[in-house]
Structure 1
Amino acid sequence: MRTRSGSRALGALALAAALTLGAAGCVPLEEPEEPAGTGGGTATQMLSQLTVAEANPMRGYSRNRFPHWRKTGKNCDVRDTVLERDGKDIQHSGCNVVGGRWESVYDGRAFTDPSQVDIDHMVPLANAWRSGADDWDDSKRGDFANDLDRPQLFAVSASSNRAKGDQDPSQWKPPNRSYWCQYAGDWVAVKHHWQLTVTSAEKAALADMLEGCTWESKP
């Protein structure tokens, strides 16, 4: 299980790499030794343990069935906590984050206005619903939607978050190809912890993204 300090450390790694972005290039993210896991082995090993199933119907789905954002610590809510964790030179007004600098690891765009930054759910809420969360109660869905312990919440550009929507990696990948290993590893870690299913196309896309990642070739 990734701790909050671990999440902050990986967030800091991604942001530090993002600051080296060229004007027209992708974020040259240096791979961590291994994606944040759940004690289940490498991302490829965890992927092999996921249940493959057809996507469940969206009948009954609503974002309101995943209550967020919860109040948390010194910040107003989980959104503010992620903005503070993933940003630099953070400015507050009371418990709200009102300024700072953010680098979106999905596409390398930089922002100083938090209203232009979205908090992305690595595994989107609607995808989780189709993958087994439709059987959860709203309290558990709230735990999932506010999960700060897994690599589930990231401050990214609003445009990339909205382009992603509720799509899985067989349908959408970050424009920044150098982030694909981390993206696939984080996606698998979240689904593995929450025991969510994957479709066959989703599993194939994740396996393809993980092929050649440095941590996957370690003995």
Structure 2
Amino acid sequence: MHVLLALSSALLSPILVAALPTPPGIPSASTARSELSGLTVAARGSSSGYSRDEFNHWITISGSCNTRETVLQRDGTNVATSSACAATSGTWVSPYDGATWTAASDVDIDHMVPLSNAWQSGASSWSASQRQAFANDLDNPQLWAVTDNVNQSKGDRSPDEWKPPLASFYCTYASAWIKVKSVYSLTITSAEKTALQGMLDTC
């Protein structure tokens, strides 16, 4: 009986994993801890001058597909699109809360490290092209397809101020946040670092 259960679990696991979004570049917990220790701790900078328009986002990626549509196709299952690359059907599982959606309008593309947070932790000194690259980064775990109202609840808050509804996602969330901040040499606050360490302790 135990063998049968093990086989069933082994057979089901790939299906369950495949149903979840998998942005690239998520580090292991040990790598995330190492990267966290390398981040500069500093008070959050000023929000003066910040605007979402400072981060040109949802740029054209290929053909008529912009960044949002590209992530919807990457993170969804059986996604069908119109000739303009808009998702017309599909299934999306939001890793933040575990909800499943079949309408693209119920799904937001979240910036793991919010644009405002990035501005206050180093991006205010970047060039326009650097901010555009950050806002449309498909090479690191910065863009996630998630439930729209959960994304709105998060807003521009850091992990010491907001965490995903699913505690089982804390490890991945913290690892992804740390990876993005590390890649872009963004600073973290002491409260942010403490919260991230606590989330990594769930790994």
**TM-score by structure 1 length?**
0.80
Q: Once the 2 structures are TM-superposed, how far is the Cα of residue 36 of structure 1 from its aligned partner?
A: 2.1
* Aligned partner (choices 169, 193, 200) of residue 159 of structure 2: 169
Amino acid at match of 2:75: D
Structure 1: distance between partners of 2:56 and 2:16? 29
Structure 2: distance between partners of 1:74 and 1:85? 16
Report the 3-state secondary structure (helix = DSSP H, G, I; strand = E; otherwise coil) of the residue aligned with 1:72: strand
* Aligned partner (choices 15, 19, 22) of residue 16 of structure 1: 19
Contact 1:14–1:105 (CA<8 Å) still a contact in 2? Answer: no
* Aligned partner (choices 176, 183, 192) of residue 173 of structure 2: 183
* Aligned partner (choices 29, 48, 60) of residue 71 of structure 1: 60
- Cα RMSD (Å): 1.9
Structure 2: distance between partners of 1:84 and 1:172? 27
**TM-score by structure 2 length?**
0.86
Structure 1: distance between partners of 2:51 and 2:16? 34
Structure 1: distance between partners of 2:181 and 2:16? 23
Structure 2: distance between partners of 1:81 and 1:142? 16
* Aligned partner (choices 66, 72, 77) of residue 88 of structure 1: 77
| 1:140 aligned onto 2:137 | no
Partner residue in 2 for 1:44: 33
Partner residue in 2 for 1:25: none
Name the % identity: 50
Instruction: Please list the CA deviations of residues 100-152 of structure 1 after superposition, one character each: whole Å capped at 9, or x if unmatched.
Output: 11111101111111111100000000000010000111110000000000000
Partner residue in 1 for 2:141: 151
Partner residue in 2 for 1:102: 92
Pick closer, same or farther for the CA change 1:50–1:14 going to 2, 3 Å. farther
Contact 1:15–1:86 (CA<8 Å) still a contact in 2? Answer: no
Structure 2: distance between partners of 1:126 and 1:98? 31
Q: Which runs of 4+ in 1 moved over 3 A?
A: 12-15
Report the structure number with the largest CA radius of gyration: 2
* Aligned partner (choices 177, 181, 188) of residue 198 of structure 1: 188
Structure 1: distance between partners of 2:35 and 2:110? 22
Pick closer, same or farther for the CA change 1:78–1:204 going to 2, 3 Å. same
Partner residue in 1 for 2:112: 122
Amino acid at match of 2:41: V
Partner residue in 1 for 2:10: none
- Give the aligned length: 184
Partner residue in 1 for 2:200: 210
- In structure 1, the gaps of 5 or more residues are 1-11, 19-34, 214-219
Pick closer, same or farther for the CA change 1:132–1:148 going to 2, 3 Å. same
Structure 2: distance between partners of 1:139 and 1:170? 29
Contact 1:15–1:105 (CA<8 Å) still a contact in 2? Answer: no
Contact 2:81–2:89 (CA<8 Å) still a contact in 1? Answer: yes
Q: Once the 2 structures are TM-superposed, how far is the Cα of residue 16 of structure 1 from its aligned partner?
A: 2.6
Structure 2: distance between partners of 1:14 and 1:107? 15
